[in-house]
A and B are shown apart, each in its own frame.
Chain A
């Protein structure tokens, strides 16, 4: 059973094609991530799937209902945390939750208990009577997550859930997302431009660039597109230097600095075997380093660009320009 099914989805703004015919499926209970740079079309896709934008052509089924034909049915079954804030800043955390619950048809003690449970879950219960405008970015995000969970959605959309947050807060929010999946078996559709976020959270990842999905799979599968893990070994006695032979070793090279470079499919699994082999042959290893391809390597391999640095170099360039103008 699929929670989201998308076929050939196209979204145009006038002449500009933001999403150029993408297709994918998300299984129930899965965390699925869209990974890609800003402007790749991730948010546009989320807005189409959450019925906020009309698609130009193609088909999208969310929680069993067509987003074009039955938007109301879809809206009942989804929760969303938008990329930009969407809270009422003048109202308190509790009031924001209360209004959301009422609009989604909850009420009475059921609603009260649910609000308390969720505000405690995101650790905001003690701040419940504070207007949201006094909240930090991280607190606002947590409140938005709690709010999105209030009506127990089947599918939860998180659009760049940790953008602009400090590393500690990000890790914190990742914990919430993981426990949501575990405790409620919720389907989560996530967009991000942080590779570590996609890797930490997602069961499957679609890499998106310029309105297209350019690769899809688990993080491991995607990394295999780039190649093998690489292990470097330094041995105690250089005269022992020769290539280890075993079926799991895909490639071996003796380096001029006296190290051995091994290519394996999965370094984590291969390393213990290598130690065993070395012991058998009485070779002493003094140093091990290994390098695994990152999702950034995957993006680089597929597009020839780094995933994140576009905006960073841009801001740097504009900062330099501003300095020079003075």
Chain B
């Protein structure tokens, strides 16, 4: 347990040091929420549109999606930050230590996930100021869904970073992956209105289940696509799998 708690502690400590970065991380989802969400909310302010969005206003429909997007972005970036440890050398210090590497990297993922969840909470609270019909009672369970998503993508980020040499490669991956995953997650429009080939992609997109799961709690059953057990089950399995891969990869990691 030593390595686990210590590495989690380190990630949280690092986060508290980089407060200016925190502001930057929150600005991006806010831009989506305000300029995108508020902008379209007037267009969709009619009974027909409301029917498409499960009977709620557009901002309420969008809010869980923005929450999931924030978690997804930040946890992925957090996981990939292993590459900075590679570049600044701290990774060597961890690799040469007589502690379980599996535990250490799990601690790191959990620490990063808690940090990500803090950011997600801030965004969630801000969305409550804009969207009228969100359930306050849904915040805590939605954070649970967010945690599963965070753990999964921290793990993915770690595995990816261990394979990469520089941050430039990561920018590429971000560019190619991020926007399609968000557009194909049902965060901005319902999956059912998509052309069938897009819908097929949405079904294999993990983010879809996080958005849907968060909607269960924050908005209500009538807006969701899948059963809650499906959402949580898919995310939990994915988290287990990706963390497992990260642990195995980290166990094998060498330098140079």
Contacts and interface: CB of A to CB of B under 8 A. Distances in A.
Interface in A90-141: 90-91, 95, 99-100, 102-105, 131
Interface in B1-44: 2-3, 5-7, 9-10, 13-14, 17-18
Interface in B220-256: 254-256
Interface stretch (A50-58, A214-222, A303-311): A50-58
Nearest to B16: A90
A208 B193 CA distance: 70
Would you call the interface of chain B mostly helix, strand, loop, or mixed? helix
- Of B9, B95, B96, the most chain A CB neighbours within 10 A belong to B96
A52 B9 contact: no
Interface string B83-103: 000001110111111110000
Nearest to A147: B93
Interface string B37-69: 000000000000000000000000000000000
Contacts of A82: 89, 92-93
A53 B7 CA distance: 23
Given A52-B96, A102-B6, 18 more contacts: A47-B255, A47-B256, A52-B92, A53-B256, A54-B254, A75-B96, A76-B98, A85-B89, A86-B92, A86-B93, A87-B90, A87-B93, A90-B18, A91-B17, A100-B97, A103-B6, A104-B97, A104-B99
A88 B97 contact: no
A180 B232 CA distance: 56
Contacts of A76: 98
A103 B92 contact: no
A102 B13 CA distance: 15
B186 interface: no
Would you call the interface of chain A mostly helix, strand, loop, or mixed? loop
Contact of B10 (A54, A87, A89, A91): A91
Interface residues of A, number: 28
B254 to A, nearest CB: 6
A268 interface: no
A90 B17 contact: yes
B97 A75 contact: yes
A281 B172 CA distance: 85
A131 to B, nearest CB: 7
B216 to A, nearest CB: 37
A244 interface: no
Classify chain B: how many residues form its interface, as a range: 20 to 34
Contacts of A91: 10, 13-14, 17
A72 interface: yes
B10 A72 contact: no
Interface of A: 47, 50-54, 72, 75-76, 78, 80, 82, 84-91, 95, 99-100, 102-105, 131
A110 B18 CA distance: 30
Interface of B: 2-3, 5-7, 9-10, 13-14, 17-18, 88-90, 92-99, 104, 254-256
Nearest to B100: A72
A87 B2 CA distance: 19
A100 B256 contact: no
Contacts of A89: 88
Nearest to B5: A102
Contacts of B94: 103
B181 to A, nearest CB: 29
B96 A50 contact: yes
7 contacts: A47-B256, A53-B254, A84-B89, A85-B89, A87-B89, A95-B10, A102-B2
A247 B218 CA distance: 99
Contacts of A78: 96
A159 B89 CA distance: 14
Contact of B90 (A50, A53, A86, A105): A86
A50 B95 CA distance: 10
A285 to B, nearest CB: 56
A88 B255 contact: no
A88 B14 contact: yes
A52 B89 contact: no
